[in-house]
């Protein structure tokens, strides 16, 4: 009955986005319409036009590889020239890398830390990047220091929490622009400015930020900033940017030693050896498709409104179903990605959160993200242009009863299907 009211009458429910010909936005994506896609943030989603363009250039590559590869670096430089204005940056500050993890690895492998140096991260960091940071510290017999930032900390409190963990040995701060487990921003601009004043290098993990925060790169003004175009930007997967400040750009080299090795930054990143770079070539098509079809400003405000509505609706339904308050106070929230508390024992740790995600796909055909932070489980919803209120109503109607049922089972979360994820992060 309540869900019916939500479906028919709620005046606050945002009207779905449509293309100019009236078709629902999702018809522009390759996504299976029989599956609910509530987690754009993890692995993205690619518009059909970008996939078609990528397929066309891949066919060219396959038809004449010897003609294809030698001029490829010039084409990549051209792509940088197309992408840079959309990201608010000059092309000569932008290098292309396969993904945010790869961009972080470039930085960890390129900079020289002193013996015994400390690398500072936060407890909101993406586990895989934090592992790289830990290894960078270990290589110099130094250590990883973790700043604990309360989920609800506002800008000042977040800055203070990070800065309190800086020591005389800190040589690199790795900080997220938008956090993965907790869907919040961190005051990256203030942290980078304070670090620079103290001679500490900064790496901002902006994996989710490109196109979601239009001025992210300038706002952070980090020494090194990495961000995925295959998340909110909807580019084909394997497309990310690394932005280096001119003062430190000379330090960074691609992970692959190739024929650009003697060139300046960022041209040396245009050379990747014999790698299929068709995702990079097709990235501008994806970004332009969204601008031309809906407008990025409209997509940003739609996804923020939709995610806010969905969060409120799911908090309400989940709280009633479990009889506990499932709302969350998040300091420095971000429009299109939101959290809802998931009652214990669900998703209490990273491993079990991933198990819950896998079970939700297998048993309900709903793609979700569950995260855990400080022992508390969360449902993380991450909206894009193709999502509609129906997606979240369906989650309320079908997924919440399952969560209630599973919470009473002795083993609600089977081991995650990805063995790489079996470790705790």
- Are the beta carbons of 45 and 31 closer than 8 angstroms? yes
Least gap, CB of 6 to ligand PLP (angstroms): 30
CB-CB neighbours of 145 under 10 Å: 18
Give the residue carrying structure tokens 């196109």.
211
Compare residues 42 and 109 and give the one whose CB is closer to ligand PLP: 42
Task: Name residues contacting ligand PLP, limited to 82-101 (CB under 6 A).
Answer: 99-101
Instruction: State in angstroms the smallest separation of the CB of 205 from ligand PLP.
Output: 5
Contact region for ligand PLP (CB under 6 A) — 6-14, 29-37, 195-203, 204-212?
204-212
Tokens encoding 219: 């706002």
Segment interacting with ligand PLP, rule: CB under 6 A, options 14-22, 152-160, 203-211, 259-267: 203-211
176 part of the interface to ligand PLP, by CB under 6 A:
yes
* CA 171 to mean position of chain CA atoms: 25
Cβ at position 367, least distance to ligand PLP in Å: 14
CB of 47 to ligand PLP, least distance (A): 18
d(CA 107, CA 223): 10
- Per CB under 6 A, 367 contacts ligand PLP: no
Among residue numbers 16 through 45, which ones bind ligand PLP (CB under 6 A)?
42
Q: Supply the minimum distance, in Å, between the C-beta of residue 360 and ligand PLP.
A: 18
Q: How far is CA 252 from CA 202, 224, 266, 357, 376, in A?
A: 13, 9, 9, 36, 38
Closest CA to 207 of 169, 167, 173, 179: 179
Q: How far is the CB of 238 from ligand PLP (least distance, A)?
A: 8
Query: What's the CA gap between 16 and 144, in Å, rounded?
Result: 45
Residue 354 near ligand PLP by CB under 6 A: no
Cα–Cα distance for residue pair 170/31, rounded to 1 Å:
44
Distance of alpha carbon 123 from alpha carbon 184, whole angstroms: 12
d(CA 270, CA 262): 12
Q: Which of 86, 151, 201, 207 binds ligand PLP (CB under 6 A)?
A: 207
Position 205 contacts ligand PLP (CB under 6 A): yes
Q: How far is the CB of 317 from ligand PLP (least distance, A)?
A: 26
Q: Identify which range of 16-24, 57-65, 115-123, 200-208 contacts ligand PLP by CB under 6 A.
A: 200-208
223 part of the interface to ligand PLP, by CB under 6 A: no
Does 389 interact with ligand PLP (rule: CB under 6 A)? no
Residue from 180, 182, 202, 371 in contact with ligand PLP (CB under 6 A) = 180
Whole-number Cα distances in Å, 358 to 127, 223, 363, 414, 416: 19, 37, 9, 8, 6
* Residue closer to ligand PLP, measured from CB, 208 or 350: 208
> How far is the C-alpha of 319 from the C-alpha of 323, rounded, in Å?
5
C-alpha to C-alpha distance for 387 and 246, rounded to whole angstroms: 39
Q: Say if residues 236 and 282 touch (Cβ distance below 8 Å).
A: yes
Question: Is the CB of 205 or the CB of 367 nearer to ligand PLP?
Answer: 205
**Rounded to the nearest whole angstrom, what is the least distance from the CB of residue 218 to ligand PLP in the complex?**
19
Task: Using alpha carbons, select from 190, 245, 196 the residue that is nearest to residue 223.
Answer: 245
Where in 96-135 is the site for ligand PLP (CB under 6 A)? 99-101, 126, 129
Q: Shortest distance, CB of residue 207 to ligand PLP, whole angstroms? A: 3
Q: Is 114 exposed, middle or buried (0-12, 13-18, 19+ CB in 10 A)?
A: exposed
Q: What does DSSP assign to residue 41?
A: H
Nearer Cβ to ligand PLP (129/306): 129
Q: Does 219 help bind ligand PLP (rule: CB under 6 A)?
A: no
User: Does residue 421 touch ligand PLP according to CB under 6 A?
Assistant: no
Tell me the site size for ligand PLP, rule CB under 6 A: 12
**Residues of this chain, 257-296, that bind ligand PLP according to CB under 6 A:** none
Enter the tokens of residue 338.
């939101």
Nearest approach, Cβ of residue 81 and ligand PLP (Å): 23
User: Interface residues with ligand PLP (CB under 6 A)?
Assistant: 42, 99-101, 126, 129, 176, 180, 205, 207-208, 228
């Amino acid at each position: 009955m309540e869900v019916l009211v939500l479906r028919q009458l709620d005046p606050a429910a945002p009207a779905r986005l449509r293309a100019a010909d009236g078709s629902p936005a999702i018809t522009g994506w390759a996504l299976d319409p029989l599956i609910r896609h509530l987690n754009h943030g993890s692995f993205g989603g690619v518009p059909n036009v970008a996939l078609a363009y990528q397929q066309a250039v891949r066919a060219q590559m396959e038809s004449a590889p010897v003609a294809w590869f030698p001029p490829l670096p010039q084409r990549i430089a051209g792509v940088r020239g197309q992408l840079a204005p959309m990201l608010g940056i000059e092309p000569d500050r932008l290098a292309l890398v396969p993904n945010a993890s790869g961009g972080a690895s470039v930085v960890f492998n390129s900079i020289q830390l002193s013996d015994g140096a400390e690398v500072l991260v936060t407890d909101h960091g993406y586990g895989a990047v934090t592992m790289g940071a830990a290894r960078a510290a270990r290589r110099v017999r130094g250590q990883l220091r973790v700043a604990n930032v309360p989920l609800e900390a506002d800008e000042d409190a977040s800055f203070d929490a990070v800065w309190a963990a800086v020591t005389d040995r800190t040589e690199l701060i790795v900080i997220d622009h938008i956090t993965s487990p907790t869907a919040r921003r961190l005051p990256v601009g203030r942290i980078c400015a304070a670090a620079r004043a103290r001679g500490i290098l900064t790496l901002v993990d902006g994996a989710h930020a490109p196109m979601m925060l239009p001025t992210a790169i300038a706002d952070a003004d980090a020494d090194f900033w990495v961000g995925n175009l295959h998340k909110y930007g909807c580019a084909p997967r394997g497309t990310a940017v690394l932005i280096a400040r001119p003062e430190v750009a000379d330090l960074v080299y691609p992970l692959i030693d190739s024929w650009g090795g003697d060139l300046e930054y960022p041209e040396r990143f245009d050379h990747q050896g014999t790698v299929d770079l068709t995702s990079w070539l097709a990235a501008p098509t994806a970004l332009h498709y969204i601008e031309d079809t809906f407008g990025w400003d409209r997509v940003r405000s739609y996804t923020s409104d939709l995610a806010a509505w969905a969060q409120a609706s799911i908090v309400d339904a989940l709280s009633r179903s479990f009889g506990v308050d499932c709302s969350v106070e998040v300091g420095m929230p971000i429009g299109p990605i939101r959290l809802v508390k998931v009652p214990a024992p669900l998703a209490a740790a990273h491993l079990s959160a991933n198990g819950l995600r896998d079970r939700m796909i297998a048993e309900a055909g709903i793609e979700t993200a569950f995260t855990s932070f400080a022992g508390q489980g969360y449902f993380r919803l991450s909206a894009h242009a193709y999502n509609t209120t129906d997606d979240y109503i369906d989650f309320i109607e079908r997924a919440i009863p399952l969560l209630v049922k599973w919470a009473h089972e002795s083993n609600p979360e089977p081991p995650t299907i990805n063995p790489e994820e079996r470790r705790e992060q």
